[in-house]
């Protein structure tokens, strides 16, 4: 019991208060009037909704800009018609919504830990070829991770981040997209990037920051991009890409406004549960909802943000519960279950493209690896915890079991494929390592579209230094050496 102010109203926390917020609400006259005014772009985004669970929320965007909301003068008011909350019913019960009493959003799963399909009604839409590509891509990322991790440890690479435990979420979601869909990543989505078609040579060029790197050796390793596959350049600041994704999705929407293509594409944006604490996450989901942008927000909830466990990251029902608050269709999925991730992403894509609105997916998984090569995760979690996860559940093992039950895979194929992949990676790695760094003019190029006067002068200054003290610098590793600056 809590006393509320001087009025002394007694408030009792009731059980099952959540029921109030999900009860379907009749639309009365006073509410429908709101929709007769000038309707904003976002107003029709609920009309094709297949979701009934959020019927009490998500319409807040529809009154934007109308300014015509008024109280009904007829009869007894049952619903709130304040402009800020148009479908709330009045109540004389004073109850706080207690999040601890709400049922957490369930996690969608399709394949169990032994590789058996749980829902026989659904036909998993991949043939043998696609299944094996997905599995091979997961395997490739996993092997590349262990090789590159060691390479960094030997000092052959400045930095690396593995994605162990999250290969399924990355490959499964990417496999559900179309090639013209636009991708924004955080940094642990190697599987998605590989699935799209980026080659091992391209991966290695980026990691070794050599002359073949599209980013001209300017960014840290693992900050991949691909113009060909619509993958925007990764940057280190967390969550900044989330509003970018909303804006890019809006660009797709605008482009399509006249030609009404059947599939105008969508944007997918990956981020971790830690990044979701940044202000940019909030800003992005809110603006994507109000502008009705065709974007899939894909959260990888792997339990840790470097050393911070998710229990210290948030107090609510994960990231998924927040999506509902923004009026966004939301689903939680087993991130170790590639088939489930694939199905969920496929459906999310349909919602985003056909209904032009954002969708949030929270994929639950476990970060098996250290955060990065600069992190020793055993400083904040036990080895047994990690070993336990590796043994109990991981996306590769689960998919392998599923493939074996279909007779599409075997131990022999596994060994042979692993060997093949390993050989291919090592050969690309050696080639990338030998390749020279980009030419020195790339220091100044790309800051602006053109070389500005101050940059031209500063380039001259560097030339003077290099020519005056040639013995102080080794330019032999750079494309064209000293000439590269001319």
Partner 1 sequence: MNAVLRRTAPRLSSRAILPSRYIGLRRFSAIPESSPNHINLSEASFLARSSRTALSNTELSDLAKNGASKSMNLYQSVNDALRIALETDDTAVLLGEDVAFGGVFRCSMGLQEQFGSQRVFNTPLSEQGLVGFAIGYAAMNQTAIAEIQFADYVFPAFDQIVNEAAKYRYRSNTFNCGGLTIRMPCGGVGHGAMYHSQSGEAFFSHCPGLKVVIPRSPLQAKGLLLASIRDPNPVIFMEPKILYRASVEHVPLEDYELPLGKAEIIRPGSDVTLIGYGTQLYHMQAAADLAKEKLGGVSCEIIDLRTIVPWDRQTVFDSVNKTGRVVICHEAARSNGVGAELAAEIQENCFLRLESPIQRVTGWDTHVALSFESFQLPDVTRTFHAIKKSLNF
Contact residues: partner 1, CB under 8 A = 40-41, 64-65, 182, 184, 214-216, 218-219, 223, 225, 227, 232-233, 235, 237, 240, 242-255, 257, 279-280, 282-284, 286-287, 290-291, 442, 445-449, 452-454
Residue closer to partner 1 (CB basis): 33 or 282: 282
Question: Whole-number minimum distance, CB 9 to partner 1, in Å?
Answer: 30
* Residue 253 CB, nearest approach to partner 1 (Å): 8
Find the shortest distance in angstroms from Cβ 245 to partner 1.
Answer: 6
Half-sphere exposure of 65 toward its Cβ, with a 13 Å CA cutoff? 10
Minimum CB separation of residue 314 from partner 1 in Å reads 19
Q: What is the CA 456 to chain-centroid distance, rounded?
A: 39
Closest CB 42 distance from partner 1, rounded Å: 10
The answer to whether residues 332 and 107 touch, using CB atoms and an 8 Å cutoff, is: yes
Comparison of 115 and 233: residue with beta carbon closer to partner 1: 233
How far separated are the first and last CA of the chain, in Å rounded? 77
Looking up tokens 């399909």, which residue turns up? 117
Among the listed residues 303, 159, 176, the one whose alpha carbon sits nearest the alpha carbon of residue 234 = 159
Q: Between the CA of residue 360 and those of 240, 297, 323, 328, 355, what are the distances in Å?
A: 17, 5, 6, 7, 14
Nearer to partner 1, 223 or 398 (CB): 223
Q: Tokens standing for 332?
A: 């939680």
- In whole angstroms, how close is the CB of 305 to partner 1 at the nearest point? 18
When the beta carbons of 241 and 310 are compared against partner 1, the nearer one is 241
State the SS3 of 275-320: HHHCHHHHHHHHHHHHCCCCEEEEEEECCEECCEEHHHCCCCCCCH
User: CB 174 → partner 1: shortest distance, Å?
Assistant: 19
SS3 19: helix
Strand pairing report for 329-334 and 107-108: parallel
Measured from the CB of residue 323, what is the shortest distance to partner 1 in angstroms?
16
Q: Tell me the residue ranges of DSSP E strands in 145-215.
A: 182-184
Residues in the chain: 486
Residue number, 37 or 115, with CB nearest to partner 1: 37
Distance CA 354, CA 246 (A): 16
Which token pair is 152? 């960094």
| Rounded CA separation 96/86 (Å) | 19
Complex with partner 1: residue 24 or 237, whichever CB lies closer: 237
**Phi and psi at residue 188, to the nearest 5°:** -115, 45
> Which tokens in the block code for residue 107?
């996690």
Quote the least distance from Cβ 290 to partner 1, whole Å. Answer: 6
Widest distance between CA atoms in the chain = 91
Q: Which is nearer to partner 1, 203 or 389 (CB)?
A: 203
Residue placing its CB nearer to partner 1 in the complex, 186 or 369:
186
Distance CA 305, CA 314 (A): 11
Tell me whether residue 12 or residue 254 sits nearer to partner 1 (CB atom).
254
């Amino acid at each position: 019991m809590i006393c509320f102010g001087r009025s002394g109203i007694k408030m009792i926390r009731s059980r099952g208060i959540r029921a109030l917020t999900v009860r379907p609400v009749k639309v009365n006259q006073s509410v429908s009037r709101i929709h007769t005014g000038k309707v904003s772009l976002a107003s029709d985004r609920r009309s094709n909704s297949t979701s009934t669970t959020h019927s009490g929320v998500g319409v807040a965007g529809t009154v934007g800009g109308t300014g015509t909301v008024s109280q009904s003068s007829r009869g007894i008011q049952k619903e709130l018609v304040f402009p800020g909350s148009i479908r709330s019913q009045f109540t004389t019960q004073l109850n706080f919504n207690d999040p601890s009493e709400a049922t957490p959003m369930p996690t969608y799963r399709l394949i169990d830990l032994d590789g058996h399909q749980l829902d026989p009604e659904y036909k998993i839409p991949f043939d043998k070829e696609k299944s094996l590509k997905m599995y091979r891509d997961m395997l490739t990322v996993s092997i590349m991770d262990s090789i590159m991790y060691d390479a960094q440890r030997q000092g052959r690479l400045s930095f690396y981040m593995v994605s162990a435990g999250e290969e399924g979420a990355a490959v499964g979601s990417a496999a559900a997209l179309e090639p013209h869909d636009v991708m924004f990543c955080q940094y642990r989505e190697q599987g998605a990037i590989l699935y799209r078609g980026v080659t091992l040579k391209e991966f290695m060029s980026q990691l070794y920051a050599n002359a073949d790197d599209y980013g001209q050796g300017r960014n840290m390793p693992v900050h991949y991009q691909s113009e060909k596959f619509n993958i925007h350049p990764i940057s280190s600041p967390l969550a900044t890409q989330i509003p970018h994704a909303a804006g890019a999705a809006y660009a797709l929407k605008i482009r399509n406004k006249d030609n009404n293509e059947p599939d105008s594409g969508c944007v997918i944006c990956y981020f971790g549960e830690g990044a979701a604490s940044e202000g940019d996450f909030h800003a992005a989901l809110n603006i994507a909802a109000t502008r009705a942008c065709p974007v899939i927000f894909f959260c990888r909830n792997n339990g840790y943000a470097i050393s911070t466990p998710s229990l210290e990251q948030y107090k609510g029902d994960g990231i998924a519960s927040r999506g509902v608050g923004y009026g966004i269709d939301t689903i939680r999925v087993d991130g170790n279950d590639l088939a489930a991730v694939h199905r969920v992403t496929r459906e999310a894509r349909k919602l985003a493209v056909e209904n032009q609105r954002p969708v949030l997916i929270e994929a639950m998984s476990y970060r098996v690896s250290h955060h990065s090569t600069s992190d020793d995760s055993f400083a904040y979690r036990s080895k047994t915890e990690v070993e336990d996860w590796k043994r109990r559940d991981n996306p590769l093992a689960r998919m392998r079991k599923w493939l074996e039950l279909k007779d599409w895979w075997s131990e022999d194929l596994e060994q042979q494929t692993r060997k093949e992949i390993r050989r291919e990676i090592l050969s690309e790695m050696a080639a990338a390592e030998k390749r020279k760094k980009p030419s020195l003019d790339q220091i100044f190029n790309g800051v602006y579209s053109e070389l500005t006067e101050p940059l031209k002068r500063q380039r001259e200054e560097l030339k003077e230094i290099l020519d005056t003290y040639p013995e102080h610098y080794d330019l032999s590793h750079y494309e064209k050496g000293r000439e590269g600056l001319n």
